[in-house]
Chains A and B, each alone.
Chain A
């Protein structure tokens, strides 16, 4: 069994609200560990609209979504949060002593006194492309990520998509697979120009095939793929293949949160508006994932929620300790924690 990682507060989700929770909890000396299925912090801001300006962050007439994430990371740095990326939190259970055990999809085990669910619209997961019947092949011959390249050795492989993942795997799997056909809707790509040039050069050398079109159908038996139908500018063609890798971006799915024994309201977690606590004491929910009368899915609201939540969390992490309300401007003890005391 792997070592158990212990922390005061385990935060599920490293979106803007999870990040700011580190700040408010840190002011009360609580150590945080964040887990996110993405490979970097920032949640929707980093994944869906990094370059778009946000106009309703108080004090910032305009700030790009990634700019906000970068500033949040800078702001919470004094509290030295720990991050675990590329992991989905799959299990959450309450232990006899009232603390919590959290398990990831790679079976890492965490124990924390408090759990904060800042899971936004749910975990980011690969989008299923709109190909009829594709679910019959998933996990057997259609995969949404490459865990082991050996899985593709000696196979006729079709890769669908026009972003970096599609291009990178086309180039990386070309030497391993028997044949590679890349299918994209148009000759322009959203990927690094260098990889696109390499791909076109390999096509020139007949080392792979690139087809403009959309995959509209699959043929096979018992989940074993034998061919894909590609609808191109000049009609339909069939390509024999035994493996397919579609890269259609990410979408948010509630995921395993539904199985943690919490009350839910239309895929959201109801909380009270004093502590933002869920139906299980010690588990809090903040940001887009929670629900209460009047809830607005705004970053601003999430920031407010974590400030109040931190007070309640402190009572659980350090029972009996008096909580003093202080301003960061004037409290030397808070300033010491922030590393700015004069």
Chain B
């Protein structure tokens, strides 16, 4: 199991155990992390699963692909460390990953 931490907009921490191969978004939904809506169910078609990757993790998580960049145009207050959480796959190297939930989704 890989450990992930979501920090909700109000500062609440959600520490969750995630299965490798699942997406970060799926773990947020499964654990009812507030502020992740994921309207399209992970198809990179809604931009309502937007998160900020903790600065310490941006390199390991990597850059979004072109399709995700396009979708990020529809997200709110996009930062250099913005990602759509449905496009991040959980793997061993992400053990301890911290992501923050923005004030709002779109």
Contact = CB atoms under 8 A, between A and B. Distances in A.
B8 to A, nearest CB: 18
A52 B43 contact: yes
Most central of A49, A130, A216 by chain B CB within 10 Å: A130
Interface in A178-212: 184-186, 188, 190
A214 B77 contact: yes
Nearest to A47: B45
A216 B76 CA distance: 10
Contact of A49 (B45, B74, B76, B77): B45
Interface residues of B, number: 14
Contacts of B76: 130
Interface in A100-130: 127, 130
Interface in A248-306: 248-249, 251
4 closest A-B pairs by CB: A130-B76, A48-B45, A190-B70, A49-B45
Interface in B69-99: 69-70, 72-74, 76-78
Interface of chain A: mostly helix, strand, loop or mixed: loop
12 contacts: A48-B40, A48-B46, A49-B40, A49-B43, A52-B43, A52-B45, A130-B104, A161-B73, A185-B72, A190-B73, A248-B74, A251-B106
A146 B104 CA distance: 28
A162 interface: yes
Contacts of A216: 77
Contacts of B73: 161-163, 184-186, 190, 248
B106 A188 contact: no
A130 B106 CA distance: 6
A281 B105 CA distance: 39
Contacts of B43: 48-49, 52
Interface in B34-54: 40, 43, 45-46
Interface of A: 48-49, 52, 127, 130, 161-163, 184-186, 188, 190, 214, 216, 248-249, 251
Contact of B78 (A48, A185, A251): A185
Contacts of B104: 130
Given A130-B77, A214-B78, 4 more contacts: A49-B45, A185-B78, A186-B69, A190-B70
A22 B40 CA distance: 27
A48 B76 CA distance: 19
Contacts of A186: 69, 73
Nearest to B72: A185
Contacts of A214: 77-78
Contacts of B77: 130, 214, 216
A249 B104 CA distance: 17
A162 B75 CA distance: 13
Contacts of B40: 48-49
B70 A127 contact: no
Contacts of A251: 106
